[in-house]
Structure 1
Amino acid sequence: MDYIRSFAIVMFCFLLGQGIQHLTHLPIPGSIIGLFLLFFGLVTGICKTKWVDKTCNLLIKHMALLFVPVGVGLMNYLGLIEHNATIIFASTLGSTLIVLLVIGLALHHKEKES
């Protein structure tokens, strides 16, 4: 019964996100909107963690398998990726460095307070 409730809550958030995206035509995928809705529900206490932990643990356990369709789908765009490889590499490297810098500064600031 826990799996059914857990799956139903996750799917409800997903479908609600899809519906919001479809009605508002936001440039954000409906699955991401649903993820934010689930996050909001967990943070506010509307949705208890124990209600969704079964499905979430199952999805995390098999996460690598969920990336296979995305990886195969990228093969359709190898020419586009090859044409923009420099830009992709530069943005990946740049964003990684920015994240490392921000985390380092935040940690430094946090340790200075303590």
Structure 2
Amino acid sequence: MNYIRSFAIVMICFFLGQGIQHWSGLPVPGSIIGLFILFIALVTGICRAEWVESTCNLLIKHMALLFVPVGVGLMNYLGVIENNAAIIFASTLGSTVIVLIVIGLAVHHKEKNS
């Protein structure tokens, strides 16, 4: 019974996100909107973490398998990726450096105040 409730909550959030994306035309994938809906439900206490824990653990356990269709789908866009390889590399490198700097400053600030 726990798996059914857990799966139902996750799927309701997913379909709500898909519906919001479809009706609003937002340039954000519906699955991401669904994740935000689930996050808000968890933070506000509308949904308890124990209610979705079993399905989330199952999805995380098989996460590598879930990336296979995405990887295969990227093969349709190899030309686009090749044409924009420098931009993709620069944005990946730049965002990594920014994340490392922000985390370093946050840890330094945290340790300094402790």
What TM-score range do you get, normalising by the shorter chain?
over 0.9
Is the partner of 1:105 in helix, strand or coil?
helix
Q: For this pair of structures, how many residues does the alignment match? A: 114
Is 1:82 aligned to residue 66 of structure 2?
A: no
Is the partner of 1:47 in helix, strand or coil?
coil
Q: Percent identity?
A: 81
Task: Determine the structure 2 residue equivalent to 1:36.
Answer: 36
Unaligned 5+ runs, structure 1 = none
Q: For 2:72 and 2:57, how far apart are their aligned partners in 1?
A: 25
Q: TM-score, normalised by structure 2?
A: 0.97
Task: Determine the structure 1 residue equivalent to 2:94.
Answer: 94
Is 1:58 aligned to residue 63 of structure 2?
A: no
Structure 1 moving runs of 4+ over 6 Å: none
Task: Determine the structure 2 residue equivalent to 1:8.
Answer: 8
Can you list the C-alpha shifts for 1:9-40, whole angstroms capped at 9, x where unaligned?
A: 00000001111111211111111010001011
Offset of residue 4 of structure 1? 0.4
Unaligned 5+ runs, structure 2 = none
Is the partner of 1:46 in helix, strand or coil?
coil
Q: TM-score, normalised by structure 1?
A: 0.97
